[in-house]
Structure 1
Amino acid sequence: MPIFILCVYCLWNKLCFNYIVQSISNMDLIMIKKVFFLLIFTLVYADPIMDFSPPKYVEELPEKDFVEEFPKLGSLFGQGERPMFADRRAMRVNDILLVQVSESSTAAFTTQKTYNGTQGGNLNAPILNYNGNDEGISQSVQEFQSGSAFDMTLSNSNSNFNGGGTQHRNENVELEITARVIKVLNNGNYYIEGTRQIMVDGEKKIILLSGVIRPYDITSNNTIESKFISELKLNYTSEGDISNKRHKKWGSAELEQAWPY
């Protein structure tokens, strides 16, 4: 397989080189643009990204219509700015709630592969006998016998392969982020999104969260745990000098991505 990849890579580079020579000789601007695109496509290494757009079914489901319900006279539950008795949980679009993120993952993976092969053997020529009285045929048989009187011996060869690997990984994420109700689905569920950006001494922390929740999982103090969020998407990144030191420079990353060995 590595030989095949090397051949494809060499063929691709040769094709790009031929395009470059043809472009320079003909001074074809369009061809030069194509060559530039091919080279960039070969070298560019795209960082992993996460799409935070709502799931397809969230877009397809209609929003729930709210009907204003005015309390009866003398009711303890009012609809003023701050009634004495009210449900403080998020219930409508643009309401906010606190998301308590507590995610942990543990993975252990071990693989082992062993291969042993032996090859060898003998190959003998066929023997042809003639019991008739025809001298012509008998002479032909003798000529055939003298021409095919050989044996072939295959040399013994052994091949061995032994490989394996082990991976252990533990990850824990503990944080809190305030999210906003973006859409109330007709079944009563909420689609929420939350964003937080913190700048400390030139280092920027960015937290993005989205998902679908049930109103029944929201506690009385207007919080919800991340384990109750369906379609959960969480992205925690940082930007700045310290973060840049933890990653390879773009030139090194692109060179390693394109290097076939």
Structure 2
Amino acid sequence: MNNERIQQIARAAGFVTVLLVAIMLAGCVNTPPTAVHQPMTARPPLKTDYVLNSGAIFQPSGGARPLFEDRRARYVGDTLVINISERTQAAKKSASTADRTQDIEMGVPTIVGLPGKSLQGATVAANSANAFSGKGASSADNNFTGTITVTVIEVLPNGNLLVSGEKQVAINQGNEFIRFSGIVNSTQISGANTVQSTQVADARIEYRANGYIDEAQVMGWLARFFLTFMPL
């Protein structure tokens, strides 16, 4: 084997090694996908270099706040505290029964002048029974409480606020992601700049995590392959 061939094999092996290392590193720092409204945060618009002064307390600039205005969120980039208090309970129970019974009895009377006298006096009886019983029950109980601060990412034409935010908590060798987004009616924001999650429309709440503990609970791709394509 010549030196050029050996160098080609070495380069190929090095490329495969780098690729495997990149895949392993990507698997260590991967971020769980999300279904909340994007983006997670938004910066306020840049202020102009100069502001037209009308000579009064009122300022026509969109970024100005009135003198006696509270600090409730109302502009893009403002923050809002969401008190997450979600509790859902659901239960379903069903039962059905069906019974069917059928009896048939037939007798041969006296036969006169007709063939088949051998069947005279014979009796035939048949009965059938069919029963069905089915029961089913399901229940769910979910509880999610916490607090997260989100950012106004868009102000809708009717004054409602589209908010979105994320909180990341690193614990040992895993990260936990708490995400929230939804549409807030500005009139429901309290004086402390807070709102209950039950008052948020189109709310999307997520609690996800990554790390070796969560990876251990996920079926591998090879097992999913055999589970999908093998009928047994």
TM-score, normalised with respect to structure 2: 0.60
More helix per residue: 1
**Counterpart in the other structure of 1:52:** 36
Give the 5 Å matches for 1:208-219: 208-219=179-190
1:152–1:192: structure 2 CA closer, same or farther, 3 Å change rule? farther
Corresponding pairs, count: 187
Q: Which has the higher strand share?
A: 2
Aligned to 2:171: 200
Q: CA RMSD in A?
A: 4.3
Which residue identity is paired with 1:52?
V
Structure 1 residue 104 corresponds to structure 2 residue 87: yes
Cα pair 1:76 1:85 within 8 Å, conserved: no
Corresponding residue of 1:9:
none
Distance in 2 between the 1:256 and 1:237 partners? 25
Q: Is the 8 A contact 2:168 2:177 kept in 1?
A: yes
Cα distance in 2 for residues equivalent to 1:116 and 1:52: 51
In the alignment, residue 190 of structure 2 is paired with which amino acid?
Answer: T
Paired with 1:87 and 1:70, the residues of 2 have a C-alpha distance of: 23
State the 1:227 CA deviation.
Answer: 1.1
1:114 aligns with 2:97: yes
CA distance in 2, matches of 1:88, 1:152: 96
DSSP 3-state at the match of 2:191: coil
Instruction: Tell me the equivalent position of 2:70.
Output: 87
| Residue of 221, 237, 240 corresponding to 2:208 | 237
Take 1:258 and 1:104, find their aligned partners in 2: how far apart are those partners? 39
Q: CA deviation at 1:123?
A: 8.2
Q: Distance in 2 between matches of 1:213 and 1:70?
A: 32
Residue 195 of structure 2, aligned match among 224, 230, 245: 224
Alignment pair present for 1:168 and 2:139:
yes
Given that 2:37 and 2:164 are in contact with CA atoms closer than 8 Å, whether structure 1 keeps it comes out as: no
Equivalent residue for 1:12?
none
1:176 to 1:87, Cα distance in 2 relative to 1, 3 A? same
Q: Look up the SS of the partner of 1:92 in the other structure.
A: coil
The one-letter amino acid paired with 2:83 is: Q
Deviation at 1:97, TM superposition (A): 1.0
Structure 2 portions without partners, runs of 5+: 1-32, 39-50, 108-113
SS of the counterpart of 1:194?
Answer: strand
CA distance in 1: counterparts of 2:123 and 2:220, whole angstroms: 59
* Closer/same/farther in 2, CA of residues 183 and 117 from structure 1, 3 Å limit: same
Note the residue ranges of structure 1 that are not aligned, 5 or more in a row: 1-48, 55-68, 125-141
Alpha-carbon distance, 1:76 to partner: 11
Asked if structure 2 preserves the Cα contact closer than 8 Å seen for 1:180 and 1:194, the reply is yes
The residue identity in structure 2 corresponding to 1:87 is D
